[in-house]
Every structure is written in structure tokens, then in C-alpha cells.
Structure 1
């Protein structure tokens, strides 16, 4: 059976980095789900911090270094991509955006991509929806339904009655990415059916019948 290739892109700047930690945990969750399905997988992590100078030079020269070219090839040829960025000024980081600016607009078309971000406060979690999703929608990627945001207080937290904890969200997102990589669509959540609803309410009445009902005797 063909080995699937999973590439995690981390735009963290510090070492150690919570962004890299989140990328590693998402990659591990995805790998475990694929292994359970009997699908061999090869995991690679691309650290953009180590490529920052090469990315800047490529933007002005148009020529990638061997290391940057290898990273771009890994992402564009992957069966699944995990993209993780720290949130700066309510959006993705400049390093993260600069790297994906170098990706051919058609290279990720139809490719499963899991989006994730880290930040100091939960107030910036909407960056996943107003910044990252539009970017990868433009690239026509197949975006995993569950995106994962990890604020400082999420690490080590089990969540509460309203919000699932970080480990639960990581596992759910990893499962969804594994489903897409293995060629399966994620199962839609079951919807409750109200037995009291009149199923005839949506019946389409032919136009001729509506006219007949309006006629006077």
C-alpha cells in the first residue's frame, strides 16, 4: 500500500515554540488515526523559522534556495498538510503568508489542509475564520472542518461544559484530516428530527391548483 505523505508547516519563531508543539500534536493525532486504518504515513515538519532568510531572498529574486525548494516541493506533493501559525495583530504571521505566497496557486487544489493557530488570548481565535480560511479557499484547498486554536490557557486544560479541551479538538481535527487523506469523507453530525414537525408543510402545491383555489364560485 502506498505510503501517504503528511507535511506540517510551523511558522513559530521562538524555541521552544507553542506553534511547533501544536503542529507536532496535530501530526501525531493524524498519524495515529491513519495507522489505525492500516494506512502507512510519512510525517515531515517544515520549520519556516529556519527558512526565513531564504523566503525573503526568493521574494525579491524569484529563485528558491535548495532548502526552500525542497520545502515547497514537500508541501505541494503532500497527501495532507497541517498549517500552523502564531497570530500577530489578529491575523497570520508575515512569515507564514510569505511562504504560502511562494506556492503555485494551483498546487494545493483539492489537497486536504488542516488549519491551526496559537496566540496569547482566546480573543484572537477568529483569525482562523477571517484570515486563514479565505487564504486556503483562494488556493482551492480542501479545508478540514475543524480548525484548532490554542491560547496560552488552553495548554493543559480539559475544557468545560461549553468548550471542548485542546486535546479533544486536536483529536477531532486529526481524525477529519485522516479521513480526507484516506479518501473518506468525514461523517456528518447526526441531526435530531422533531417528531411533531408536519412533514407535509413543505409540500409543493402546483400553480394550477393555487389558481383554482382563488376562483370564486
Structure 2
């Protein structure tokens, strides 16, 4: 039996990244609860072939391997920092390269980070419709964290941790693991 895989993808363009740290924490929790491995990537990991690519075949071997993991993952944790009220352009470009059926039915937890609360609806008005187009199974709880929710790059907000736990519990129900971890229904 093949081990399950949880993939995290961050639309961040710089390192270190609060968004990638946030996604890593959530994906790690999901992976630990379902006995899966996790792989976390950001746009930087796709290298220089991503910006000019018009098709998956235009990506270099490393980037194509990441796309293969993303599309074959059992669970996806996806998010982006907020730029001008939306996700980053290269994050969108990556998803533009995917076949529309490649994420059909895949459980997805959507996340975003931003400088302040005014961007909090990015998860509902930008990310949820993106994954809806792919017919992915986006979890009801989406999570947005602003700069005030972090200290030294680490998430410190208990309210955001609680939302993260709620989204993790939802995805565990979808993949059939809720009973094995003692989560309340």
C-alpha cells in the first residue's frame, strides 16, 4: 500500500515566508493525523521554468515532479500571501497550467496571509472560487492570518490555531480518519 501524501503549496515569492510556515504547520498536522508524509513547496521551488511555461511540458523536471506530487496528493493545503486583494500572480499561473480535472474531488484546505484584516476575504473571494473551478473538495473552514497573528515568523494567535484545528478536523472526516484520532463530530 502506498503511503498517503499531504502536499502544501504556498504562493509566496520570498523566503523566509510566514505563508509557507503556516501551511507547513497545517499540512504537518494533517499528515501526522492520517499517517501520511508531507511535502511543502513555494513558488520559488518551481525555479525559473515556471514564469515562461505555457504548458506543464514546458516546466523543467523538478517543477514537473512537484506538479505530479500536487495533483496526486491525498490532501492539499494551499495558500498565498495577499497582494492587492488576491493571490500572487505566479501562484495563479501555476494553477493555470493544470488540467481542469486534475484536482477533482481532492480535499483542499485554503489559507492566506496578509498585512491586515482588510484582506481576510481572500480565502472566500479568491481561493475558494479557484479550487471550485477545479471541482476540488474545499473544506468549509478557510483560514486567514494577518501580520498581528505572527511573532518572529511563527503563528502565535490562538484564534487562528483554533480555526486551523477546525479545518484539520474537517479534512480528517473527509479522508475517513476522524474516529481514529478522537475528534468530536
TM (norm. structure 1) is: 0.75
Equivalent of residue 151 in structure 1, options 141, 146, 152: 146
* Matched-pair contact (CA < 8 Å) for 1:84–1:115: yes
Within 1, Cα distance between the matches of 2:14 and 2:111? 17
Residue of structure 2 aligned with 1:41, choices 32, 36, 47: 36
- 1:67-146 to 2 correspondences below 5 Å: 67-146=62-141
| Distance apart, 1:54 and its partner CA | 1.4
| CA separation of 1:61 and 1:13: change in aligned 2, threshold 3 A | closer
- Which residue in the other structure is 1:172 paired with? 166
CA distances 1:152-203 after superposition (whole Å, capped 9, x unpaired):
1122233xxxxxx11111111122122222377xxxx99xxxxxxxxxxxxx
Unaligned runs of 5+ in 1: 35-39, 159-164, 191-217
Distance 1:147 1:20 in 2: 16
Q: Secondary structure at the match of 2:82?
A: strand
Q: Is the 8 A contact 1:116 1:148 kept in 2?
A: yes
Deviating above 6 A after TM superposition, structure 1's stretches of 4 or more consecutive aligned residues are: none
Match of 2:9 in 1: 9
Count of residue pairs the alignment pairs up: 175
Whole-Å Cα distance in 2 between the matches of residues 10 and 27 of structure 1?
A: 11
Give the deviation of 1:133 after TM superposition: 0.8
How large is the Cα RMSD of the aligned pairs? 2.1
Rg larger for: 1
TM-superposed CA distance for 1:60, in Å, is 7.5
Match of 1:23 in 2: 23
Q: Which runs of 5+ in 2 are unaligned?
A: 151-155, 179-183
Question: Residues 68 and 168 of structure 1: is their aligned pair in 2 closer, same or farther, counting only changes over 3 Å?
Answer: same
Q: Please report how far the alpha carbon of residue 12 of structure 1 lies from its aligned counterpart in structure 2 after TM superposition.
A: 1.5
Relative to the length of structure 2, the TM-score reads 0.87
Given that 2:7 and 2:38 are in contact with CA atoms closer than 8 Å, whether structure 1 keeps it comes out as yes
